[in-house]
A and B are shown apart, each in its own frame.
Chain A
Amino acid sequence: MTIRSLLSRKGRSFLTMLGIVIGVAGVIIIISLGAGAQSLVLGQVNKLGSNLLSVQPGKSDPQGPPAQVYGVVVTSLVESDAEALRSSSQVPHAIGVNALVRGIGTVIWQNKSTDTNFIGTDFGYAKVVNFTMSSGEFINETANKGGAKVAVLGSKVAEALFSGTGVDPIGQVIKIRNNTQGDVGGVPLRVVGVIEKRGSAFFQDQDDQIFIPLSIAQGQLLGVHYLQMISIKVDASENVKQTINNITTVLKQKHHILTDDDIDFTIRDVAAAADILKTITGALSLFLTSMAAIALVVGGVGILNIMLATVAERTREIGLRKAVGATNGMIMRQFLLEAGTLTFIGGALGIIVGIILSYLMAILMNYLDFDWDFVISPASILVAVGVSILTGVIFGLYPSFKASRLNPIDALRYE
């Protein structure tokens, strides 16, 4: 009877349902996008490796951007600082320490060239960051200390220079020059390894990179003596705090700093940064979810409106039903059931639309090269359906109540 009654007003039922469909689909899509974004952030962090600390030159709020962002060049961090942090007696929980500078350069092999990021680093990089070699090896300690002219290519750089040539990059000599140095010269380096494709981490392409010894990057490409960053890998998450204290003590001592006000470096916990990102994405998706919930309530008001119009339009029918024996409860049940059915079908359609759209979004994100997971939590479906049925019942209640209270003879006389 309910379905027949709704079907007899197809257009109206459909439009009423549309509000609920959009609301429910919105909630599902937004919750799914939020979960996808969080898993993306977590994935980016995990790629860098967990329990990772970074020391940056200059004092800044660890929650805010580093000093370099403001164009300030701080030269207080040097290679001997990294050496000091490698001391297992002073920083016992550090299992890897690497010093790092970076720049943008052009890499040339025979008649091919490509612009890429170069990372000047040392053998510690392999201990700090998670990656696997597709061939050859990473810069080792002897090569590092001897100032060997070697290079390790990211997969995209290797592809740009060697793909289609049939030449094994290992053993080939490439040239690298800093883009600020103009078109001449370049430092010849022998390729000793190629890193397997790793995607992006912290929203930086990890494959469009070339790794060279720190001393070459500092001395021959950048012309600096300082470091841009020292990364430290800690053995376990519970030791992160202690390690931060150890690093602070070591660097304060080395930099002859007496008070905390004079500290000229900043230690960042990568996991903490990820937490901040997670909090941001969480807050954002909560905000968007509440917007979608408002859309759902608006859909509910639509149902209220339509049901009230329906009650007015069907007053004579209600009168007739009462005249042939329907009780107040039966009339109320009928109208509630109609509102409930509308919202239930709307909710079900909303779930289907929401899942399909979320899936398409995930495909789009992956197409755009984000490691995006398609996540649909059962909780989001429960919430969406629960809220939609609740809206149906709540907003259907008043019109149903109104309908059930009609005096049969007044209802029959209604024009």
Chain B
Amino acid sequence: MPIIKIENLKKDYENEGVITNVLQGVDFSMEPGEFVAIMGPSGSGKSTLMHILSFLDKLSSGLYEFEGQDTKDFDKNYLAKLRNERVGFVFQSFNLLARTTVLDNVKLPLIYSNKKDHDSLAKKALADVGLSHRLDFFTNQISGGEKQRVAIARALVCDPAIIFADEPTGNLDSKSGNAVLEILQKLNDRGHTIILVTHEMDTANHAKRIIYIKDGMIVGDEKVSKRTMAKSDGILKK
């Protein structure tokens, strides 16, 4: 059973009477354990598609089935529960809480879940991204690459079915970016399903499959023949 299945998915925005068709009938499906990169130029609708798939936004029409269930009838509280338990996010701009420690940032999703032993779950997630030595640091005391790794730990902490990463390397230098991609590849190796949104071919090549999107439509969908495997040059072992 596909984890995600969408058919003829459309999304329109209305702004002061002007309707913009951002997504104009998108179809694709995805199996558990896949690592898919959604690629396209700015304004192509790739981020909008990701937001709909991750329950941050609603579709205008079409079908979206998540783990075999039609999402049309999900109410707000159920969507919040799905975002908490089944989905993890990594944003381009990290979105960490200011004036808060690394550990507390990772614990944030746990506050809204019914999981117990928040401390050890958060510490385990931070160990997975190689940040066990930064637990009590405040987020303004760590580097950009480390911030993104904290964000990945936060996305991981509730053990989601799928991780969405929106331009996760966009604000990072190549070394830190490689470390982030290496972590995502390792997570995928351990069975996590990953959707990566990017406009860079180099980044997209780290995935196993690339969906090309342009002007709100899918224009290509292919397996990656020469997959790049990221090497963090020792950053993660620090």
Contact = CB atoms under 8 A, between A and B. Distances in A.
A312 to B, nearest CB: 15
A325 B107 CA distance: 12
A159 interface: no
B154 interface: yes
Contact of B56 (A8, A316, A412): A412
A320 B154 CA distance: 11
Contact of A323 (B81, B83, B98, B113): B83
A321 B57 CA distance: 15
Nearest to B94: A320
User: For chain A, which range describes its interface: under 10, 10 to 19, 20 to 34, or 35 or more residues?
Assistant: 20 to 34
Contacts of B89: 323-324
A317 interface: yes
Contacts of B77: 327-329
Contacts of B100: 4, 8
A225 to B, nearest CB: 88
Contact of A327 (B76, B97, B108): B76
B95 A320 contact: yes
A412 B166 CA distance: 13
Contacts of A4: 100
Contacts of A407: 57
Given A8-B99, A316-B95, A409-B51, A324 B108 contact: yes
Interface string B64-103: 0000000000001100110111000101000101111000
Interface residues of B, number: 24
Contacts of A1: 111
A326 B76 contact: no
B145 interface: no
Q: Which of B56, B89, B154 has the most CB of A within 10 A?
A: B56
Contacts of B81: 325, 327
Q: Which of A317, A320, A329 has the most CB of B within 10 A?
A: A320
A43 to B, nearest CB: 56
B28 interface: no
Contacts of B95: 316, 319-320, 323, 412
Given A8-B99, A412-B95, A324 B83 contact: yes
13 contacts: A8-B98, A8-B99, A319-B95, A320-B97, A320-B108, A322-B83, A323-B83, A325-B80, A325-B81, A326-B112, A327-B112, A328-B76, A330-B80
Interface of A: 1, 4, 8, 316-317, 319-330, 407-409, 412
Interface of B: 51, 56-57, 76-77, 80-81, 83-85, 89, 91, 95, 97-100, 108-109, 111-113, 154, 158
Question: What are the nearest 4 A-B pairs in CB distance?
Answer: A325-B84, A325-B112, A324-B109, A327-B80
Given A322-B83, A408-B83, 9 more contacts: A8-B100, A319-B95, A321-B112, A323-B83, A323-B95, A325-B84, A330-B80, A408-B56, A409-B51
